[in-house]
Structure 1
Amino acid sequence: MSQTDLIQTDRFVLSAAEQAAIEHEREHYEDPRAASIEALKIVQQQRGWVPDGAIAAIGELLGIPASDVEGVATFYSQIFRQPVGRHLIRVCDSMTCYVAGHEALLAHLARRHGLTPGQTSGDGRFTLLPVCCLGNCDKAPALMIDEQTFGEVAVERLDALLEAFE
C-alpha cells in the first residue's frame, strides 16, 4: 500500500498502520459494520481519541455509512470523541463508594488538581471520568487510573497515587 492509497476524508488521513489493522479486523466479520468497534479502538489506540474525520474515514474504508460508525462511537462510553489526558482517572460513584467517601475524593481532585468530572487537566495529564461501578465495593471508595484499580482510597493517599502517573 502506498502513501497515495491512504484513506483521506476532510483532511483526516488514516495512517497506513491504522488502515492495515482495520482491514485485518474487517476480514473477521461477515458484515463490515461489526468491525466498526474494532476500527474505532484502533484509531483511539493510535491517537488517544477518535477525531470527527476518523468516523468518515472508517466508514469509507469499511464501505458503510459514517452514521453507522458514529452510532457505535457514541454508544460506547470508552470511545473518546474528544481529546483526553494521558491518564484516565475513573472515580466510582456507586452508592457504596458514595457513602464511603466518593465526594471527598472529587472535592480534593477539584481543589488540588482543578479536575471536575468530564474535564481534562490544563497540562493534559489527567482526565476525570465518573463510572457507575468498578466492582470493588468491598474496598470503597474505589477508583481506577488507566487500567489499575485502587480501593480504600483516602484523600490523604490520593496525591501519592497520582504522582506515580507522569
Structure 2
Amino acid sequence: MAPLLEAARDEIRRLPTYYERRQSALLPALFVAQRELGWLPPQALQEVADLLDLPVSDVAAVASFYRFFFLEPPGRHLILLCTNLACLLNGAEGLRRHLEERLGVRPGQTTPDRAFTFRESECLAACHLAPMMMVDRERFGPLTPQAVDELLERYRAR
C-alpha cells in the first residue's frame, strides 16, 4: 500500500490547529486518508497516528468504531440499507433478506466480484422514502424487491 501523498500529509498536519485538543483532529484526518486511499489499511492508520502524535491503538479504535470508515477495500458501490424504525415498519427486513440473497453476502461484506459493499445504516434521514437505501450517495425509495433488483442491475453495469 502506497503511503499518503504529501498533500494529504500536509492537510492532516494542519488539522490540529483548528481544534483545542489534538484528538479532535482524528476524525477529519481519517476522512482525508480514506478519501485518498479509498479505505484505511493498517499503514494509513499508523501514518495518521504518527502525523497527529497519537497512539495507533486510539486511531484504530476510532476507525473501527465508525461504520463510515473502511478497514478493508470496499466494493465499487456502497449499498446502505436503512434499518431505522420507519424503514423497518415498511419492509426493510424483507429488503435485507432480498439483498442478502441477490448479492450473496450479509451486511458488512463485499461481493466476491467487488461490485458492492453492503451495509446496514441506522438512519439515512429519508423516512418519507421508507423503506429506502442509498447506493453510493444516491437515495432510493420507497423500495420493493423488484426495484432493488433493477438498481443492482443498473449499478453492476457501471
TM-score bucket (shorter structure) = 0.7 to 0.9
CA shift at 1:121, angstroms?
0.8
Structure 2 length-normalised TM: 0.86
The yes-or-no answer on 1:63 pairing with 2:53 is: yes
User: Which runs of 5 or more structure 1 residues have no equivalent in the other structure?
Assistant: 1-10
Residue in 2 aligned with 1:73? 63
SS in 1 for 2:105: coil
Taking a change above 3 Å as real, the CA distance of residues 103 and 75 of structure 1, as seen in their structure-2 partners, is closer
Q: Match of 2:95?
A: 105
Residue 12 of structure 1, CA deviation: 6.3
Shift of 1:130: 0.8
Contact 1:49 1:83 survives alignment (8 Å) = yes
Q: Give the C-alpha shift of residue 116 in structure 1.
A: 1.6
Q: CA RMSD in A?
A: 2.0
Equivalent position to 2:37, from 29, 43, 47: 47
Q: Structure 1 vs Structure 2: percent identity of aligned residues?
A: 38
Q: Structure 2: give runs of 5+ residues left out of the alignment.
A: none
> SS at 1:13's partner residue?
coil
Runs of 4+ in 1 over 4 A off after TM superposition: none
Contact 1:12/1:57 (8 A) holds in 2? no
- Count of residues in Structure 1 that have an aligned counterpart in Structure 2: 156
Superposed CA deviations along residues 43-64 of structure 1, whole A, max 9, x for unmatched, are 1111221111212211111222
Which whole-Å deviations, capped at 9, do the CAs of 1:81-108 have from their partners, x for residues lacking one? 2221121111111233223221332222
Equivalences for residues 126-165 of structure 1 within 5 A? 126-165=116-155
> Match of 1:122, as an amino acid?
P
* Corresponding residue number in structure 2 for 1:122: 112
Could you tell me how far apart the structure 1 residues matched to 2:101 and 2:51 are?
Answer: 45
Larger radius of gyration: 1
